[in-house]
Amino acid sequence: MTSTVHVPILVEPIVRALIEPFEALTDDAPAHWLVDFTLGGGGHTAALLEALAGQPRLARHRVLALDQDPQAIERARTRFAGELAEGRLEIQTRRFSEAEDLLAQRPILGMMADLGFSSDQMDTAARGLSFQAEGPLDMRLDPTRGRSCREYLTQVSEAELARILEEYGEERFARRIASALVQRRRERKLPTTTKELADLVVHAIPAGARHGRIHAATRTFQALRIQINEEMNELDCLLGRAILFLKPGGRVAILSFHSLEDRKVKQAFRGDREELPPFKPLTKKPLEADEAETNRNPRSRSAKLRVAEKTGSQGETAHRSR
Ligand SMILES: C[S@@+](CC[C@H](N)C(=O)[O-])C[C@H]1O[C@@H](n2cnc3c(N)ncnc32)[C@H](O)[C@@H]1O
């Protein structure tokens, strides 16, 4: 367990963008839903609930909050016991790629995702996400399924590992690190903890590159976490399938934390993906946290927020517009 509390990022612009379409609904419109795909510590969900409750005209609308992490879900059920009992909030354990049954059941006018992992997941050593806190080499955001990082490293080929480190970590020394890992595997000395992996990476790269602005193992850890949690495939499912369930006039807000994610979001909102109905980007350039927020919350430094609106008339349903 950890006592770290995740501080939500860019709350105000996200809430403002997502609430506006609700304000445009007529008073006799049925209850509509906002979906938070990344419940985490519940920071954005709480702000969305508060914004709906704060205006009597909007108080009947509801929030559906999802997460793949069973521990995050359990904590949120306690935190939001009141809202759950009142029926203002529904919480479900789901991945982006497995949420369609829930999305198809309701009219949805807003969606958000705050990608990646939360500070409390990062600081829970047992999850093996961090080289700062020594833990088992796991990295799964849902530890109940899939392969741990260590299992993955026992099976992956050297060429594939180098490709993952290069593509997902933009790691310059991808081939050297992959070669060092595979060599250790041959010697039956594959790292079993996050710290052992970080040390291996540091020793695999040239001495002159060991003391940069970020820790030498940062990119390797990012790449492996993305691979273990299938984060790129999940984001493709979110952008290519889940957001189809948004009603025309509804909005989607996505907070991303590295260039690979942001590129996918930008392309989807710009209409590069033929399978998507038209979306109008509301942020030409991504919004970033200001100095006050980055001082308060260093994690917000790399955050980029993009918002888009699904075009078409309010009368159309998600299914008709597909
Ligand atoms: C940055 S945190 C969200 C923090 C939250 N907005 C808050 O204010 O506390 C990201 C959360 O998304 C979850 N997550 C990441 N990828 C997911 C996926 N593909 N499906 C479902 N949940 C996912 C993680 O388990 C984590 O709890």
Same domain, 219 and 296: no
Query: Which of 7, 12, 35, 38 has most ligand 1 atoms within 8 Å of CB, for mutation?
Result: 38
**Total domain count, the chain:** 2
Same domain, 274 and 147: no
Same domain, 223 and 236: no
Model pLDDT for residues 213-225, shown as the tens digit of each residue? 788 999 999 999 9
**264 CB within 6 A, ligand 1:** no
pTM for this one? Answer: 0.93
Same domain, 116 and 16: yes
Same domain, 246 and 285: yes
| Structural domain ending residue among the three candidates 203, 228, 253 | 228
* Amino acid at residue number 188: R
Percent of the chain with pLDDT over 70: 94
Domain-located, residue 138: no
**pLDDT beneath 70: ranges in the chain:** 1-4, 272-277, 313-322
**6 CB within 6 A, ligand 1:** yes
Domain-located, residue 69: yes
Query: Which of 44, 67, 79, 120 has most ligand 1 atoms within 8 Å of CB, for mutation?
Result: 67
Q: Are 95 and 115 in contact (CB under 8 A)?
A: no
| Structural domain ending residue among the three candidates 170, 200, 228 | 228
Same domain, 153 and 109: no
Rounded to the nearest whole angstrom, what is the distance from the C-alpha of residue 43 to the centroid of ligand 1? 11
| Structural domain ending residue among the three candidates 228, 257, 278 | 228
Element (H, E) at 253: strand 246-256
**68 CB within 6 A, ligand 1:** yes
**45 CB within 6 A, ligand 1:** no
Rounded to the nearest whole angstrom, what is the distance from the C-alpha of residue 233 to the centroid of ligand 1? 15
Model pLDDT for residues 16-57, shown as the tens digit of each residue? 999 999 999 999 999 999 999 999 999 999 999 999 999 999
Domain that holds residue 213: 143-228
CA angle 19, 23, 27 (to 5 degrees): 135
Domain-located, residue 298: yes
Domain-located, residue 318: no
Residues 210 and 214: their CA atoms lie apart, in Å, by 9
Model pLDDT for residues 243-260, shown as the tens digit of each residue? 999 999 999 999 999 999
Residues 22 and 62: their CA atoms lie apart, in Å, by 11
**72 CB within 6 A, ligand 1:** yes
Residue with CA nearest ligand 1 atom 5? 40
Beta-carbon contacts of 241 under 8 Å, excluding residues fewer than 6 positions away, are: 97, 100
- pLDDT at residue number 314: 52
Domain-located, residue 206: yes
